[in-house]
Structure 1
């Protein structure tokens, strides 16, 4: 729930241009008067820090003005997804990139962060220079934003992706959550009167003293979210660690934290990039200007430039309908396509594969299939509607029945 009145103005005024790591600026809309904060104090734990209320800590995050840093982030994700081998990257590349795609396109790397443990090196120098490197076995993938240029480089395939920061055609495809702050900003946007927020002790993260901010649904019924813990740097207000545990218990769904951090300005050369000799470079132009163009051209010995064709036109883009409240919110999309997902009856092996991943359900809405993870569930009905939320399977079925 967004803040009101002068308090909202104060929070917005206090919010500086924080390091975004190729993530567009978002405003943390939080105020104590509107979210029912639990007035717990950080009075115990190690290290020993001055007392602070949850309201004060949230304001500290909102006013954080860190613009220069470098460090290492460890991200572990356990959504409970099946092991699909290379299928995820193929689907993402085909759906998001079109054509033959490029392994250097940031869209091809998103599925990799959806499971397992990964190490990232990050660096930032204001709004115009950021770098994120995904360290892989005997290889590295880097995403670099330097001024107007955005570069992606996959050392394993020796492929390069090049676009511009103002390229509206990508529609946020370069948003790769890379730091605890990225995750924390999204979590804080969910804080409203259905939420309990408290400061629960202190911690040390990457050698820094930090407060622990805990966000929990007040009423757990229906949601898959158990709790969110954010370690906030006591000096700068920068989130250093983010942990999301599911209501079902067990390992964290997402655990992202700095293992090393330095607030000194990175060397300017950190953000320099020149495509290596022999690399295949994929150029992405403004879709409105270059729609339908997919020509390949040569530019120097061994270098190929490829302009992917415009993505196929699908349904008109429109926002979903939101039903429910707070942690039980569900996004509803009407695809306009009847028949649900392809079934194994007459739709080939792929349809049968999809059937095996989901649970068949029925209700007053008719029939459908629920696809589940440990956090997010999605119901695709045979009448063309899709219900998605961090809610249980039963909650989705009831919502579809009420909406029909």
Structure 2
């Protein structure tokens, strides 16, 4: 079993640090861009996979060497099954997302074109447990399928073509192009959607600075492969993140499993991992798609045009117009305890049910998360999850971060 060996990120500059940073930047370029996690996972189903064969006996490795191993990994081809779930301490997002989009631009509960739009469907990964089948062949070919009991939703990226298909509604979404994303940014998923365990690991390693402890926490077996455990822990108080553990393939350096434990304890809040994986080149047919007979096909431009048409969409646009002139975001603090402060223009109040700007179902969802607070800043409401919390003051300021409620209140009290 590998020792708990620090990577030297607790405020001093360890030898090779610059090389490690450059390595991490290289690793970002080589991330296999398969959208599998949404806001992923607390995977109870992965526990037996980690424990059944015991901890493999692997050569000793330091945290610095393990980080460099991840950075050197150039996994471009794989296929497998990922089991993910999320426990953020919020109600299920299924069917609710449309409440925030002008009562569902395509109609609430409509099983038509909107049901295949990735912007809508991938939000389902923000809660619950999901099984996904994934495949990738370089930066231009990826596929991810969300498997339900009696249906399947697939998202396919092949060159300049992106297809999405919902078998339950027989709806198809099609987008073409994507060259404007820049080198290495072609992907099947919308921007901002978390991807593979490797992508999640790279995001975590970006925070491995003077506010972070990085160690090797032993070994494991994930999806039948030997792996090292890289453990990342914030060294600051006030963060809602307790630790992040990344299981790294001992042979090729590919992260196989990502687990985030909240500082409040309990089961994992985010965990995404392979239950089976194969690093061979997937068959070319995996990335081919032809709309089934009778399917309703919606082009990306048509969907956007429909969403912006009609009185309801115009009302939604007006509701958000007050936010267009927001001041530049001010970041308070650093590292894991950093808090973003945003001010609405002229101290305008945020949209609410009382003003008619927020649908009643959405407001009920927000109220279930909120705690009324007060202090030197005045009064406001803290909206809570197990990870990210936000304080919205009554005079139109927003403080948000992966920090505790007390940290948000202190930031508001000390803000000028």
- Shorter chain as denominator, the TM-score bin is 0.7 to 0.9
Partner of 1:277: 293
Q: CA distance change for structure 1 residues 334 and 4 in 2, over 3 Å: closer, same or farther?
A: farther
Residue 145 of structure 1 contacts residue 165 of structure 1 at CA under 8 Å; is this kept in 2? no
Q: How does 1:354-393 map to 2 (within 5 A)?
A: 354-393=366-405
1:113 match: secondary structure: helix
* Residue aligning to 2:406: 394
> Superposition pairs for residues 4-403 of structure 1, below 5 Å?
8-9=21-22, 12=25, 17-21=30-34, 46-83=55-92, 86-87=95-96, 89-91=97-99, 94=102, 98-100=105-107, 102-166=114-178, 173-219=190-236, 221-285=237-301, 312=317, 314=321, 315=324, 320-336=329-345, 338-342=348-352, 349=360, 353=364, 354-403=366-415
Per the TM alignment, residue 46 of structure 1 is displaced from its structure 2 partner at its CA by 2.0
Tell me if the contact between 2:63 and 2:215 (Cα under 8 Å) persists in the aligned partners.
yes
> How many angstroms does 1:61 deviate by?
0.7
Q: 1:320 to 1:286 in 2, by over 3 A?
A: farther
Give the deviation of 1:60 after TM superposition. 0.9
Report the alpha carbon displacement of residue 216 of structure 1 after superposing the two structures with TM. 0.4
Provide closer, same or farther for how the CA distance between residues 293 and 16 of structure 1 changes in structure 2, counting only shifts above 3 A: closer
Higher relative contact order (CA 8 A, sep 6+): 2
Q: 1:205 to 1:94 in 2, by over 3 A?
A: farther
1:312-362 superposed Cα distances (whole Å, 9 cap, x missing partner): 474158863221111101122223362235266998955862434311112
C-alpha contact 1:107 1:174 (8 A) present in aligned 2: no
Change in Cα spacing, 1:148 to 1:237, as seen in structure 2 (3 Å) is same
Q: Secondary structure at the match of 1:397?
A: helix
In the alignment of these two chains, the number of paired residues is 365
Q: Whole-Å Cα distance in 2 between the matches of residues 46 and 272 of structure 1?
A: 39
Larger helix fraction of residues: 2
Gaps of 5+ in 2: 1-8, 37-53, 108-112
CA shift in 2, pair 1:121/1:352, >3 Å: closer
Q: Return closer, same or farther for 1:16/1:342 CA change in 2, 3 Å cut-off.
A: closer
Aligned counterparts of 2:356 and 2:198: Cα–Cα separation in 1: 47
Question: What is the distance in 1 between the residues matched to 2:362 and 2:88?
Answer: 23
Question: How far apart in 2 are the matches of 1:292 and 1:116?
Answer: 30
Q: Over residues 19-48 of structure 1, what are the superposed CA-to-partner deviations in whole Å (9 max), with x where a residue is unaligned?
A: 21159xxxxxxxxxxxxxxxxxxxxx8211
Q: Whole-Å Cα distance in 2 between the matches of residues 318 and 148 of structure 1?
A: 36
SS of aligned partner of 2:55: coil
Equivalent pair of 1:18/1:126 in contact (CA under 8 Å): no
Question: TM-score scaled by structure 2?
Answer: 0.78
Distance in 2 between residues matched to 1:400 and 1:285, nearest whole Å: 42
CA RMSD of aligned residues (A): 3.4
